[in-house]
Structure 1
Amino acid sequence: MSDGELRTDGGATTDVRWNLEGVTIEDAALYIVLLLAAAFYLVPIESGLVTSFKTGTAIVETAPFAPPGASGLTFEKWGSAIDALLRGMGNSLLYAVPATVISAFVGSITAYGLTIPTWKKSYKAVVLMLIIAGIFIPYQAVLVPLTQFWSQWVQLGEALSFVWALGIPNDYAGIIELVITHVAYGIPICTLLFRTYYKTMSEEMIESARLDGATLRRVYRRIVLPLSGPMFAVVLIYQFTQIWNDLLFTLVIVSTESSPAAPVVLILAGLGTSLEGQDFALRMAGAFFAALPTLAVYILFGEEFAEGVAA
């Protein structure tokens, strides 16, 4: 069918003209590169997904990215993965959600204090430098003091003995420790992201509110906070993803997957591993199931995330 031709289907006329004018070789090459890049990133995901539906025989006999076929298709691994990880999913939500919300809110207030109020720049620079320094401290550098802090100095399990008397396992002290740890480690990056966003706000709007007698607290509550929705989406998605996927702090604080408070990443690390070898289908099913909460967060805050990144 040539350019400009009309097609008639059942009496209805459909315009199927393709306007190829203005499409250069550079544009076509760019589209091809983008398609290849998308395929490069999507093929491993597709391979893992189809592997999760394969039997052991199909995994051996088929290519990683090839579908299992009717004889090699099974949903058993997904059922086993859900049964194994469901408890861990609940435990992970117990610390990931509050740690994300608290670190985002505290980061917003801190960034507001370092951006909007007028105080000596030398003092502000020192405080900002100390906060930003926290971003560059690697997790591995704080493992020993972190362990000593929770096991020797604070001993949260003993301090909350009245809670465990209600029948709650004292292993859940690790959940509280993970919340506090991730909040402390997340405040610097949250502060930096919010401060970058707040520096783009209209100074005239803030100054007008101050001239009308609004206090710093009222300015934040009535003006700054309502306008912070897009950046809150960015921070919430970033923080939740980082906290949900973190294994290092979980290993240090909770230690064992047999604990009643074991998060999903800790259980996932040993899923499908036995003396007989690796159950790749089970591990892939568990990995995709464990990733569902982060995917849901991206879907819920996707539009606000794009707006916040573009701001």
Structure 2
Amino acid sequence: MKDQPDDTKDQPDDASNRDTIGSGGFVSRLRSLDRGRVGLYLALLAMVGFYLTPIETGLVTSLKTNQAVIETAPYAPPGPSGFTLEKWQTAIDQLLRGMGNSMLYAVPATAISAFFGSLAAYGLTVADWSKRYKAPLLALFVAGIFIPYQAVLVPLSQFWGQYVQLGQNLGFVWALGIDNDYAGIIELVTTHVAYGIPICTILFRSYYKTLSTEMIESARLDGASLRRVYRRIVLPLSTPMFAVVLIYQFTQIWNDLLFTLVLVATESSPAAPVVLILAGLGTGMEGTDFPLRMAGAFFTALPTLAVYIAFGEEFAEGVTT
């Protein structure tokens, strides 16, 4: 019986394989990368650094003492002697009341405007009625988006202050021990709902136009009413767009200062929202306390960040549809 040929002589051993992979494998992979892709990644990293630098600067500033702000560069972290959390504690103590007041109007105004915007968009897309009426109504919704806040400040102030007068007409509510300054919270909710419905309607309408018309027509043929079609079919399918609208609306309402200044007026008010208190935080005759203002700004932004995190996946799905 003949001996089997020894093939191991032609095969490199494991040690030589490891040497080859270790010495040239990484370099060969680098050479095989597309230069265009490498340039794209470098450009993206540069953009990330460019946009994150202000955030990093504000964050490290909020952790510095006033003396450390003077002695160090804005983007440089504080040394052991310049580090403090006192500014954050002060900011939280002063802004916590305003945070609760902002939640009182931002959450209901966001939810109500999103819901009514969904209903209006459903009527403009799915409901079967004459197009000659739909077009003028749609034009009104589009026009409502472009009305600037500054154009309605005077009539808005007169409407709430001279005609509605919630502070006087809701006396039975204030008799329960609630400060009548909270009438401004009700005014903010109503105002933001009125301003939010047009943009919410347009966003929902663009989404509803992508829904399957065959599915809705089948439900109508089976005897489902418009209300039932909306409740059982359209509304469950609207989750991604609700995420988009809720994030957009909540951010706009939470950060709004103009209507707050008109309807609440002073930061000393028991109903003062957080943006109104933040506007005067860290300012005084002795100058501006930049670490305190930075800590207050980051603390104020936490609810909007939480909303983005909570609805992030649905937001991405809604944007891509």
Verify same fold: TM over 0.5: yes
Structure 1 residue aligned with 2:210: 200
Structure 2 residue aligned with 1:155: 165
How many positions carry a matched residue from both structures? 303
Could you tell me which of 249, 257, 262 is aligned with 1:252?
Answer: 262
Structure 1 residue aligned with 2:39: 29
Could you tell me which of 43, 66, 81 is aligned with 2:76?
Answer: 66
- For each residue in 1:84-130, what CA deviation from the matched residue of structure 2 results, as whole angstroms up to 9, or x when unmatched? 00000000000000000000000000000000012111110000000
Q: Do 1:54 and 1:72's aligned partners in 2 also have CA atoms closer than 8 Å? A: yes
In structure 1, the residue corresponding to 2:77 is in which secondary structure?
coil
In structure 2, the residue corresponding to 1:291 is in which secondary structure?
helix
Alpha-carbon distance in structure 2 between the residues aligned to 1:237 and 1:134: 20
**For 1:94-243, what aligned pairs fall within 5 Å after superposition?**
94-243=104-253
In structure 1, the residue corresponding to 2:127 is in which secondary structure?
coil
Structure 2 residue aligned with 1:266: 276
* TM value normalised by structure 1: 0.95
**For 1:2-21, what aligned pairs fall within 5 Å after superposition?**
4-5=21-22, 19-20=29-30
Q: What one-letter code is carried by the residue in structure 1 that aligns with 2:65?
A: T
- For each residue in 1:4-33, what CA deviation from the matched residue of structure 2 results, as whole angstroms up to 9, or x when unmatched? 339xxxxxxxx9898446522211111111
In structure 2, the residue corresponding to 1:74 is in which secondary structure?
coil
Root-mean-square deviation over aligned CA pairs: 1.7
In structure 1, the residue corresponding to 2:129 is in which secondary structure?
coil
- For each residue in 1:253-304, what CA deviation from the matched residue of structure 2 results, as whole angstroms up to 9, or x when unmatched? 0000000000000000000000000000000000000000000000100000
Structure 2 residue aligned with 1:288: 298
Deviation at 1:2, TM superposition (A): 8.2
In structure 2, the residue corresponding to 1:166 is in which secondary structure?
coil
Where does structure 1 lack aligned partners over 5 or more consecutive residues? 7-14
Q: What one-letter code is carried by the residue in structure 2 that aligns with 1:4?
A: I
Q: Which runs of 4+ in 1 moved over 6 A?
A: 15-18
Q: What one-letter code is carried by the residue in structure 2 that aligns with 1:272?
A: G
Alpha-carbon distance in structure 2 between the residues aligned to 1:84 and 1:162: 30
Where does structure 2 lack aligned partners over 5 or more consecutive residues? 1-17
* TM value normalised by structure 2: 0.92
Between Structure 1 and Structure 2, whose CA radius of gyration is higher?
Answer: 2
Q: What one-letter code is carried by the residue in structure 1 that aligns with 2:169?
A: A
- For each residue in 1:199-242, what CA deviation from the matched residue of structure 2 results, as whole angstroms up to 9, or x when unmatched? 00000000000000000000000000000000000000000000
Alpha-carbon distance in structure 1 between the residues aligned to 2:20 and 2:127: 62
Task: State the identity %.
Answer: 74
